[in-house]
Amino acid sequence: MDPSDPDFKYLGVDRKALLKELANFDSKNVIWVEDEKEGYILADIKDTTGDTITVALKDGSEKKVKKDDAQQVNPPKFFLIEDMANLTHLNDASVLENLRARYYRQLIYVSFI
């Protein structure tokens, strides 16, 4: 592959631009919560009491979830990773999000020799 080829931008991801875009991410304040439509969505942690976490969703609403139902979010460096065995948090939400993100960007998951 030749990086100077104009079509190369469609075959790869500019990791520097991607990391810059995700720089404000803090995995200690964000979790994956189940969603009927999307499967899992990101939510900001607002409060933790016992086994219950209160989270704020993107639409501004709040939701209470059990700690056991929340799934941890991976650091930005794992976004669009090819080998998901390397994920820090190998859970359903992280795997599905990685596959979804790669699919939308037309990045095939296998490599050809």
Handedness of CA 87, 42, 71, 47 (dihedral sign): positive
Closest CA to 74 of 49, 106, 96: 96
61: amino acid identity, one letter = S
**Residue 5: what pLDDT?**
72
Cα dihedral: 86, 87, 93, 97 (round 10): -80
| Domains (range + CATH), the chain | 13-104 (2.30.30.360)
Give pLDDT tens digits for 40-93.
999 999 999 999 999 999 899 999 999 999 999 998 888 888 888 888 899 999
Pairwise pLDDT comparison (56 vs 7), residue with the higher score: 56
Across 13-38, average pLDDT: 74
- Please state the pTM of the whole predicted model: 0.70
Which stretch of DSSP H or E encloses residue 101? helix 92-104
Q: Which DSSP letter does residue 3 get?
A: T
**Average pLDDT in the chain:** 83
Question: How many residues appear in the chain?
Answer: 113
Residue with structure tokens 């995995």? 27
